[in-house]
C-alpha cells in the first residue's frame, strides 16, 4: 500500500461518527433525506422496496452540466427511477472520454428510448471559454479544466469578434455547444453499434434550460432508427441560414454519420436506400414553407431573437461564471421550495401506471406543448428550394415508423382519486418531463418570487456530489434541496479514477467556486458492481462492450477479492459496494487538485456515503478532514 493511502487510512474516523462531527451543511442533507424518505413512504409504502428489488427501467438518458442550479430530478419534478444521468463540466460528450461513453453504452443496454443533451443559460464553462478566446481577463484556467474545455474553446473561436455583445455571443455559444454534443452522441459507437444490436430506436434531443425562467425547451432532435439510419425529425434549432443551405447541411450531415466522410458513391447510397430517409419536404414543411421548384418567394431563414439588450454590460471576469458582488443563492435552510412541489405531486406521479391505460385516449399531443418558436424572416432573394438540391433523389414522405407500445414504468400505484388535469397526460415521457418542468417552475415562482432571477446571478454550492448514474439515486431529489445546493458529477458506479479528465475537471472547477465538502456516494444494488462480481464468478458468454470494459476494469480488479467468499452473492455485493466507496475515497486523497487545495490552506473534508435503495436513506461510512500541511513538517 502506498504512503498516500496509509495517510488516508490514518485520517479516516471510525464508524459511527461521534455526535457533532458531521459538518452542519452535510447533516442538513442527511436530515432532509430522512424526512423525504418518510414522506415518500407515507404516499407509496412499497416504493423503496420495489425500487431496490427490480432492475431500473429508465427511458431517458440525461447528459447535463455539473452546475448546482440544474439538478435534473428537481427541475423535471420526478421521483427516482426516471432519468439515467451523467453530468460533467459544460455538458460535454467527448468521443475520446471513456466516462460518458460508458454511461451511454450502459444506458443503451437498459433500452432507453431518448437521450437529451441539456445545456443551460449563463454556463460558467462556456463563459470561461469565450473569455479566453476574446482575451478578457479572468482567473487562469487550471490545466485539468483547460484540457477539458478545449473543444468548447475551439467552438468559441467563431464568436471571437461577433456578436460584439458578450451576452449575445455567450448565448449563441451555449446553443452551439448543445448541438455539437448532440452530434457527438449521434456519431458514438454506442448508438451506432450497440443500439442497432439490441434493435432499440433512440431519439437524441437538444434541450436548453433557462436559469432566469426555470423552464426547459427543445431546440433540436434527431432519430436513430432500427436499421441505424439517421432520420431528420422535427428540428427547432435556430438556424441562421437560408432553407436551401439548411437542407444541404442536413444532407451532408447524414452521410457523414453513415459513411464517416464526404467521398460518397451516390449509386451505392441509392442502393442502400439512404437518400430515401432525407425528408427535405418535411424539413420545408416544419419551417413553415412549401418547397416548390418554381417559386419566386425568397428562401426563409431562422434568426436568433436575443432577449437581452445589445447594450448590456459585460460580466465581471470569473472562471466560475459568477459576478462580483452578487447576492448568494438561497440556501436550503431558507427555501424549502422543492419539498411542497415534489411531495404534493408525488402521489399522482406514483399512481400514474395503473390508470394510464384508461386515460391514454385523452393524452395530449406533444405538439401542444409550449415551445419556443422563432419568427421566420425573409433574407436574400433565392429561387432554390430544398427539393432542388437533389431533385431526382427527393422521395415522397415515407410511411410513419411503427410505434412500439411501451408503458412508462413508474412505482406501484396507490389508490387515489385522479384529478382532472392528471388525465391529460402527454403521449410520451419527454412531453411529460417538459410539462412537469413547466408546472414546477410556476410553483417555485409562486412560492418563492424572484428565485430564478436571483439564482441566475451565480451559484455558491458547498457540497460536491460524486455519485452513480443510476436513475434511482438523483441527489437533489432524495435530499429534497433546491437548485444551487449541490455541485454534481455522476458516472457508472460512482468512480473517481485518477486518470479521468472528466472527474478531475469537475473537482477542479468545484474547488474554484468554493465547495467545502466532497461526498462519494455509492448505493446498494449497484448494477456496475453486480456485473463485475458476476463476471468474476462466472465469466459471461459475451464480454462487456469496449467502453464498459475499460471503465469498469478497476472495479473488476476490486471484485476479484470477493470471487469465492462470501458465498452469498447479495452479501458479497454489499461488501464490494462499500469497498468501492473506500477505493474512490482513497483516490480523492491522491487527487492533484485536492492536494494543492490542502497545501494552500483550504479546509476541505471528504466523506463516503451509502444510499440504501430499500430504505431511501443516506448514511455516512467514512470521513476525512483535510489537514493543513505547514512548511517544515515531515
Q: What does the alpha-carbon distance between residue 100 and residue 89 come to, in Å, rounded to a whole number? A: 12
514: left (phi over 0), alpha (psi -120 to 50) or beta: left
520: closest CA among 614, 626, 616, 610?
610
Quote the distance between the C-alpha of residue 514 and its chain's center: 23
Q: What does the alpha-carbon distance between residue 569 and residue 580 come to, in Å, rounded to a whole number? A: 16
pLDDT at site 509: 96
Average pLDDT, the chain: 72
Rounded mean pLDDT, 309-315: 41
- For residues 593 and 515, is the Cβ–Cβ distance under 8 A? no
CATH H-level superfamily of 3-238+303-309+318-356+407-625: Carbonic anhydrase (3.40.1050.10)
Q: Domain ranges in the chain?
A: 3-238+303-309+318-356+407-625
Q: What does the alpha-carbon distance between residue 503 and residue 511 come to, in Å, rounded to a whole number? A: 12
pLDDT digits (tens, 9 = 90+) for 72-126: 999 999 999 999 999 999 999 999 999 999 999 999 989 888 999 999 999 999 9
On the question of a cis peptide bond just before residue 631, with omega within 30 degrees of 0, the verdict is no
Phi, psi of 301 (to 5 degrees): -145, 160
376 three-state secondary structure: strand
- For residues 90 and 65, is the Cβ–Cβ distance under 8 A? yes
Rounded mean pLDDT, 587-614: 92
Rounded mean pLDDT, 293-317: 37
pLDDT at site 433: 92
CA-to-CA separations, 274 to 186, 230, 245, 253, 371, in angstroms, rounded: 16, 9, 20, 12, 31
pLDDT at 360 over 50: no
CA-to-CA separations, 36 to 184, 199, 249, 349, 608, in angstroms, rounded: 37, 38, 49, 15, 21
pLDDT digits (tens, 9 = 90+) for 523-540: 999 999 999 999 888 877
Q: What does the alpha-carbon distance between residue 85 and residue 474 come to, in Å, rounded to a whole number? A: 8
DSSP code of residue 358:
T
pLDDT digits (tens, 9 = 90+) for 197-239: 666 778 889 999 999 999 999 886 665 543 443 434 433 333 3
344: closest CA among 419, 450, 427, 410?
419
pLDDT digits (tens, 9 = 90+) for 168-202: 999 999 999 999 999 999 888 878 777 666 667 78
pLDDT digits (tens, 9 = 90+) for 260-279: 443 434 343 333 333 333 33
Q: What band does 424 get if pLDDT is binned at 50, 70 and 90?
A: very low
On the question of a cis peptide bond just before residue 566, with omega within 30 degrees of 0, the verdict is yes
Amino acid at each position: 500500500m502506498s504512503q498516500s493511502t496509509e495517510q488516508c487510512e490514518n485520517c479516516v474516523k471510525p464508524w459511527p461518527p461521534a455526535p457533532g462531527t458531521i459538518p452542519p451543511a452535510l447533516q442538513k442533507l442527511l436530515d432532509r433525506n430522512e424526512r423525504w424518505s418518510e414522506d415518500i413512504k407515507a404516499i407509496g409504502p412499497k416504493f423503496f422496496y420495489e425500487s431496490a428489488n427490480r432492475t431500473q427501467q429508465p427511458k431517458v438518458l440525461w447528459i447535463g452540466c455539473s452546475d448546482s442550479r440544474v439538478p435534473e430530478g428537481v427541475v423535471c419534478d420526478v421521483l427516482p427511477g426516471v432519468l439515467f444521468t451523467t453530468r460533467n463540466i459544460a455538458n460535454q460528450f467527448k468521443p475520446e472520454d471513456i466516462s460518458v461513453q460508458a454511461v451511454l453504452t450502459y444506458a443503451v443496454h437498459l433500452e432507453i428510448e431518448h437521450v437529451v443533451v441539456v445545456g443551460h443559460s449563463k454556463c460558467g464553462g462556456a463563459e470561461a471559454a469565450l473569455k479566453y478566446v476574446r482575451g478578457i481577463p479572468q482567473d487562469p484556467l487550471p490545466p485539468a479544466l483547460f484540457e477539458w474545455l478545449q473543444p468548447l474553446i475551439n467552438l468559441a473561436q467563431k464568436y471571437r469578434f461577433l456578436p460584439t455583445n458578450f451576452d449575445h455571443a455567450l448565448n449563441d455559444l451555449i446553443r452551439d455547444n448543445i448541438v455539437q454534443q448532440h452530434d457527438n452522441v449521434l456519431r458514438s459507437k454506442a448508438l451506432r453499434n450497440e443500439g442497432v444490436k439490441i434493435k432499440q430506436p433512440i431519439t437524441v434531443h437538444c434541450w436548453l434550460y433557462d436559469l432566469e425562467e426555470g423552464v426547459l425547451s427543445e431546440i433540436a432532435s434527431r432519430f436513430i432508427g432500427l436499421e441505424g439510419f439517421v432520420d431528420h425529425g422535427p428540428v427547432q434549432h435556430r438556424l441562421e441560414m437560408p432553407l436551401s443551405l439548411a437542407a444541404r447541411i442536413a444532407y451532408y450531415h447524414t452521410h457523414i454519420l453513415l459513411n464517416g466522410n464526404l467521398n460518397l458513391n451516390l449509386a451505392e447510397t441509392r442502393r442502400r436506400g439512404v437518400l430515401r430517409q432525407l425528408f427535405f419536404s418535411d424539413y420545408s414543411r416544419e419551417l413553415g414553407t412549401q418547397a416548390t421548384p418554381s417559386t419566386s418567394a425568397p428562401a426563409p431563414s431562422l434568426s436568433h431573437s436575443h432577449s437581452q439588450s445589445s447594450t448590456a454590460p459585460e460580466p465581471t471576469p470569473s472562471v466560475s461564471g459568477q459576478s462580483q458582488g452578487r447576492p448568494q443563492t438561497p440556501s436550503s435552510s431558507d427555501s424549502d421550495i422543492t419539498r411542497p412541489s415534489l411531495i404534493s405531486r408525488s402521489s399522482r406521479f406514483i399512481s400514474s401506471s395503473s390508470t394510464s391505460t384508461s386515460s391514454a385516449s385523452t393524452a395530449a399531443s406533444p405538439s401542444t406543448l409550449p415551445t419556443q418558436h422563432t419568427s421566420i424572416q425573409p433574407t436574400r432573394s433565392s429561387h432554390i428550394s430544398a427539393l432542388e438540391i437533389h431533385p431526382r433523389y427527393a422521395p415522397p414522405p415515407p410511411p410513419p415508423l411503427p410505434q412500439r407500445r411501451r408503458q412508462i414504468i413508474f412505482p406501484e400505484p396507490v389508490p387515489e382519486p385522479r384529478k382532472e388535469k392528471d388525465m391529460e397526460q402527454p403521449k410520451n415521457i419527454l412531453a411529460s418531463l417538459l410539462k412537469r418542468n413547466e408546472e414546477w417552475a410556476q410553483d417555485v415562482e409562486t412560492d418563492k418570487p424572484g428565485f430564478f432571477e436571483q439564482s441566475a446571478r451565480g451559484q455558491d454550492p458547498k457540497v460536491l456530489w460524486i455519485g452513480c448514474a443510476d436513475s434511482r439515486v438523483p441527489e437533489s431529489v432524495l435530499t429534497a434541496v433546491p437548485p444551487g445546493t449541490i455541485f454534481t458529477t455522476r458516472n457508472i458506479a460512482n468512480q473517481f479514477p485518477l486518470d479521468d479528465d472528466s472527474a478531475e475537471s469537475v473537482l477542479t472547477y468545484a474547488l474554484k467556486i468554493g465547495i467545502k465538502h466532497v461526498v462519494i456516494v455509492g448505493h446498494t444494488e449497484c448494477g456496475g458492481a453486480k456485473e463485475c462480481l458476476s463476471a468474476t464468478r462466472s465469466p459471461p458468454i459475451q464480454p462487456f462492450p469496449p467502453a464498459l470494459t475499460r471503465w469498469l476494469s478497476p472495479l473488476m480488479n476490486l471484485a476479484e477479492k470477493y470471487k469465492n467468499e462470501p458465498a452469498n452473492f447479495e452479501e458479497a455485493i454489499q461488501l464490494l459496494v462499500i469497498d468501492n466507496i473506500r477505493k474512490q475515497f482513497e483516490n480523492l486523497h491522491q487527487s492533484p487538485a485536492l492536494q494543492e487545495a490542502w497545501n494552500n490552506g483550504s479546509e476541505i473534508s471528504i466523506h463516503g456515503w451509502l444510499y440504501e435503495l430499500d430504505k431511501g436513506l443516506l448514511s455516512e461510512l467514512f470521513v476525512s478532514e483535510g489537514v493543513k500541511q505547514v512548511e517544515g513538517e515531515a
